[in-house]
Amino acid sequence: MLAIENTLISDTVISEDFVCNISKCKGECCVAGEAGAPLEKEEVIFLEQHYSKIKPYLNKKGIAAIEEQGVFVKGIDGDFETPLVKGKECAYTVFSETGTASCGIEKAHNKGVIDFQKPISCHLYPVRIQTYDTMTAVNYHSWSICSDACDFGKALKIPVYQFVKTALIRKFGSDWYDALEQHTKKTS
């Protein structure tokens, strides 16, 4: 474990390799699982205020799920998360003609309609964040649907923390990320 500011970073965030291989997995992380994507309180507020701008970038099933359940739901653990379409994909998921899943929120962002890229939990994946009273745990989440991403990362020699660099900077800031990189240079 590595400590930076009030975070504890799992060694696997540094030691494991990972690069999304969307051509292989087809965005399965937007579809698989038992719950929606974790949302932070500020993200819930953003979605409540800007849903009408995101809605044109969603599909009919997603819109129906959001209008029935709301722009967020509370999970069994009481945390905020995105609603699901009939217990399957995230309600904000859209599919290409080839069946590849992507994020409708991110599509609205890419078109310049909103200034929010997508939930930080999605942007950070495969890194998962757990916040406690006095510190935040930064962990690597290994999931079988991402085996192609692990293989691709190994082939390219890109560790998890480098793959999610932009997201880590978005979450913790550039000074934090620089400290993480300095540590990895010392240990390699």
So what's the pLDDT on residue 134? 94
So what's the pLDDT on residue 188? 63
User: Residue 69 contacts by C-beta under 8 Å, 6 or more apart in sequence?
Assistant: 83, 91
Q: Is 75 exposed, middle or buried (0-12, 13-18, 19+ CB in 10 A)?
A: middle
User: Residue 136 contacts by C-beta under 8 Å, 6 or more apart in sequence?
Assistant: 6, 7, 8, 129, 130
The domain segmentation of the chain, as residue ranges, is 1-18+126-181, 25-117
So what's the pLDDT on residue 1? 87
Residue ranges in the chain modelled with pLDDT below 70 = 188
Between CA 130 and CA 138 the distance in angstroms is 7
Q: Does residue 56 have a cis peptide bond before it, meaning omega lies within 30 degrees of 0?
A: no
* 101-148 pLDDT per residue, tens: 999 999 999 999 999 999 999 999 999 999 999 999 999 999 899 999
